[in-house]
């Protein structure tokens, strides 16, 4: 236990020294704009209408029942704001290691479960990633995060191919071993035989037993977002 504690402390100190040296040399604004760079855009659907015939489009929007799975091109992660010597720096972490299934019955989404490999989430800084994995999110003990839909989502009319819909989803988010009920506003679009869903879940780290780090010259805001963009295909 003592050895593990020393390793964690050493990792934090190393990360702090690396960030501090960079900030001291470059300055917080240069660090934000040139070294960290612009944060990834918030996820949104990008699918466009297909060129299929009207008959094909009608079939694809009225017969959605069955199992759907997360496909290649999906990602999930987080968005947090750091304050570096008084300068705001937005940081995004991403991973493509996302799995999940959805169950559709007519015009209702009756079930959905997604799993994210938290240990593979990466930002622009290896030191930051090591801290979040080992100390903040404790990925050795809780390597994944999950979301499970707890209330069905129903729409009044069949979706139109290429037309973005706004829907709200209520479910349970499990992060770092803690589970909380959340509601997320989703963008969804059907692109013929495939679909896409994107959204951001606002979270307070303390609700999940995660202490936002404060290393003096750099601190992390207590709130952030869990973000995702999911490509969907029939199972």
* CB neighbour class for 111 (10 Å; exposed up to 12, middle 13-18, buried from 19): middle
d(CA 162, CA 46): 9
The pair of three-digit structure tokens given for residue 219, joined into one six-digit string? 């601190």
What is the per-residue pLDDT for 47? 60
What is the per-residue pLDDT for 82? 84
What is the per-residue pLDDT for 228? 97
What is the per-residue pLDDT for 101? 98
Q: Please give the residue that has the higher pLDDT: either 225 or 40.
A: 225
Query: DSSP class of residue 68?
Result: E
pLDDT tens digits for 215-226?
666 788 899 999
Residue 87 bridge partners (DSSP):
84
What is the per-residue pLDDT for 164? 92
Banded pLDDT at 3 (limits 50, 70, 90): very low
Residue 172 bridge partners (DSSP):
148, 181
- Is the per-residue pLDDT at 35 higher than 90? no
Of 200, 224, 48, whose CA–CA distance to 132 is shortest? 224
What is the per-residue pLDDT for 172? 98
Q: Please give the residue that has the higher pLDDT: either 67 or 18.
A: 67
In order of 99, 152, 228, the CA distances from 114 in angstroms are 6, 15, 10
Please provide the average confidence, as pLDDT, over all residues in the chain: 81
pLDDT tens digits for 89-122?
898 999 999 999 999 999 999 999 999 999 999 9
Query: DSSP class of residue 73?
Result: T
What is the per-residue pLDDT for 127? 82
Banded pLDDT at 142 (limits 50, 70, 90): very high
d(CA 51, CA 4): 58
What is the per-residue pLDDT for 115? 98
- Is the per-residue pLDDT at 36 higher than 70? no
What is the per-residue pLDDT for 134? 86
Q: 188 with 195: CB under 8 angstroms?
A: yes
Q: 196 with 230: CB under 8 angstroms?
A: yes
d(CA 123, CA 79): 10
Q: Please give the residue that has the higher pLDDT: either 215 or 159.
A: 159
pLDDT tens digits for 13-23?
344 434 444 44
Banded pLDDT at 139 (limits 50, 70, 90): very high
d(CA 189, CA 27): 43
Other beta carbons within 10 angstroms of residue 186's beta carbon come to 18
């Amino acid at each position: 236990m003592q050895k593990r504690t020393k390793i964690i402390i050493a990792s934090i100190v190393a990360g702090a020294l690396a960030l501090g040296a960079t900030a001291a040399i470059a300055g917080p604004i240069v660090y934000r704009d040139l070294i960290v760079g612009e944060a990834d855009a918030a996820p949104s659907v990008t699918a466009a209408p297909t060129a299929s015939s009207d008959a094909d489009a009608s079939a694809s929007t009225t017969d959605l029942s069955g199992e759907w799975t997360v496909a290649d091109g999906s990602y999930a992660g987080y968005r947090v704001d750091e304050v570096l010597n008084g300068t705001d720096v937005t940081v995004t972490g991403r991973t493509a290691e996302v799995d999940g299934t959805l169950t559709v019955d007519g015009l209702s989404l009756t079930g959905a479960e997604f799993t994210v490999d938290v240990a593979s989430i990466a930002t622009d800084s290896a030191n930051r990633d090591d801290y979040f994995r080992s100390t903040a999110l404790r990925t050795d003990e809780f390597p994944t995060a999950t979301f499970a839909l707890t209330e069905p989502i129903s729409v009044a009319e069949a979706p139109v191919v290429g037309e973005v819909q706004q829907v709200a989803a209520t479910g349970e988010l499990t992060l770092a071993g803690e589970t909380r009920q959340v509601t997320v506003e989703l963008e969804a679009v059907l692109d013929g035989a495939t679909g896409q869903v994107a959204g951001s879940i606002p979270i307070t780290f303390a609700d999940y037993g995660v202490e936002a780090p404060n290393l003096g010259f750099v601190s992390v805001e207590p709130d952030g977002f869990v973000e995702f963009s999911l490509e969907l295909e029939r199972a």
